[in-house]
Amino acid sequence: MAYTLPKLNYNYEDLEPYIDAKTMEIHYTKHHQAYIDNLNKAIALHPEFENYSVETLLASINSIPEDIRTIVRNHGGGHANHSFFWEILCPAQSPKTNNHLPKENLNAAIIKTFNSFEEFKNKFSDVAKSHFGSGWAWLVLDTNNNLKIYSTLNQDSPYLTGDIPILGLDLWEHAYYLKYQNRRAEYIEAFWNIINWEKVEENFLKSQPKN
C-alpha cells in the first residue's frame, strides 16, 4: 500500500489571515506530496516494509535497510510531520480552538510541568524562534512520560527517539515565506490562533502509557 496525501479537514483559505491560502495549497499539494512520492520510491525497493505505518517506520529507523534509511528519515519524517501538522490546525473561529487554550487534561499537565499556559507558550515560542535553519518545534511526551519542548532539524520526527508528538510547528521557510518573508516570529505568533486544541488533547490522551 503506497503512502498517500491525507485529506485536509478545512479549505486552503480557512486558516487566513494567519496562514494564507496560497501557502497552504503549495505546502500541501507540492511539498507534502513530494515527501510522499520519495518515501514511496524508497519503500518500493524494500516492499517488506510497505504495510508499516510511517510512524512505525520512523520508530524503527535503525532496522530500516541502510540504502533507504536516510530517505525514510527525511521523507518519511516529512510525511509524518506534515500529516500531523494539518490535523493540529483549524480555522481560528472553529469551536475546536477551545478559545485558544488547551483542554482540561493537557492543560493540567502543562500547568504541572511549565507552571502556567503563558510560560509554556513563551517557552515553545522561544524554542521555535531560536531554531536555526529548517526544522520543527515540538511539544512531546518523552520516553519517561514527561512533557518536553524542543526543536528538531530538517524533517526529523520525535518518533525517531521514541517520543510522541503532541503539538508541532513547521519552521521551514516554505511554511511561511510567501506571507511573512523573514518575519518568522510573526508566523510563530500567528500559529497560536489556529491550533485545534481538541485534536491536541486527543494526541495527549493517546500518548499516555496504557496500564
Determine contact, residues 166/196, Cβ cutoff 8 Å.
no
User: For residue 152, what is the DSSP state?
Assistant: E
Gap between the Cα atoms of 142 and 39, Å rounded: 26
Is residue 35 close enough to count as binding Fe ion by CB under 5 A? no
Determine contact, residues 148/167, Cβ cutoff 8 Å.
no
- Tell me which residues in 64-123 interact with Fe ion (CB under 5 A): none
* Site track 137-176 with Fe ion (rule: CB under 5 A), x = hit: ---------------------------------x-x--x-
Gap between the Cα atoms of 53 and 202, Å rounded: 19
Instruction: Name which of 30 and 46 has its Cβ closer to Fe ion.
Output: 30
- Tell me which residues in 170-209 interact with Fe ion (CB under 5 A): 170, 172, 175
Residue 85, C-alpha cell as written in the block: 501538522
Smallest distance, Fe ion to C-beta of residue 170, A: 4
Is residue 136 close enough to count as binding Fe ion by CB under 5 A? no
Instruction: Name which of 127 and 175 has its Cβ closer to Fe ion.
Output: 175
Please report where in the chains the cell 511526551 appears, as a residue: 141
Give me the residues that bind Fe ion (CB under 5 A), please.
170, 172, 175
